[in-house]
Amino acid sequence: MIIQDYDGLEALSNAAAGLFTELSLQAIKEKGFFTVFLSGGNTPLETYRVLAEEPYRDKVPWDRVFIFWGDERYVSAESKQNNSHMAFTIFLNHVPIPPENIHPIPTSLSPERSSALYEELLLEFMEKHPYPADLIFLGLGTNAHTASLFPYSPVLKETKHWVRDVYIPELKMYRITLTAPFINKAKNIAFLISGQDKMHVFKEVTEGPYDPERLPAQLIKPIDGRLYWLVDKKKADSPL
């Protein structure tokens, strides 16, 4: 586990964009392509903005990059709540990546069928581009959820499927999410953490007793990869 502190969201975002760029160049040199799973939420948006601008925009061989998502809200693709919609608006529409390299999570069918389709897509892709993923970005909620692995939800016990749909009662919403077994096979996993309200749970997840039902982010333990925590220290040090 690698914990890196940064003085503000801008510094954190530049570090995350730098990690994206470094790992993409390394993967493309080694095997000819780079696979990355994007996170939703507010914290990674600045990272996506940075990646869409120089110098990062011109460093990445975008035609060799394949984009996926770690989770998605079960809303229409045009909704401002849709993770892929936000990423297209801020990031993907501004870099020269082929449209066929971008794979949003579908939400046009039922939650169950949409999750099954995404799992089928991943299986098909991995037949031609062997897993593990090169990088998975994750966020951390104030309740310790990550992706859409929420406390005490049934998907936390999933051991077989790569993708599952899950209903979140407190949000009155379905989500579609990668499962912990899939995430943990990645070569690199990077949590992006910003916000004073997340610092207590960050410490609980990284330093407290193992209680993944209550703290689902503790399920993220890469089997043979690196786990990064990129933390906005300026937020962490802010007074109450």
Distances (CA, A) of 140 to 20, 190, 191, 228: 19, 11, 7, 13
**160: amino acid identity, one letter:** K
Q: For residue 238, name the pLDDT band (cuts at 50, 70, 90).
A: very low
The predicted pLDDT at position 239 comes to 39
**Segment 188-195 mean pLDDT:** 95
In this prediction, residues 154-183 reach a mean pLDDT of: 96
pLDDT for res 201: 94
Contacts of 201 (CB under 8 A, 6+ apart): 140, 141, 142, 143, 144, 215
Per-residue model confidence as pLDDT tens digits over 20-44: 999 999 999 999 999 999 999 888 9
Write down the domain spans for the chain: 2-208+220-236
Q: What angle do CA 231, 233, 236 make, to 5 degrees?
A: 100
d(CA 10, CA 90): 16
Write out pLDDT tens, residues 198-212.
999 999 999 999 999
26: Cβ–Cβ under 8 A, 6 or more apart, which residues? Answer: none
Write down the pLDDT at residue 235: 55
pTM for this model (two decimals): 0.94
Question: pLDDT class for 142, splitting at 50, 70, 90?
Answer: very high
pLDDT on residue 13? 96
Torsion 118-123-129-130 (CA) sign:
positive
Question: Which amino acid is residue 35, in one-letter code?
Answer: T
What phi-psi label fits residue 147: left (phi over 0), alpha (psi between -120 and 50 degrees) or beta? left
Rounded to the nearest integer, the mean pLDDT of the chain is 94
What is the dotted CATH code of the domain comprising 2-208+220-236?
3.40.50.1360
Q: How confident is the model over 51-91, as pLDDT tens digits?
A: 999 999 999 999 999 999 999 999 998 998 999 999 999 99
pLDDT of residue 130: 83
**Residue 165 DSSP SS3:** strand
Residue 158 has pLDDT above 50, yes or no: yes
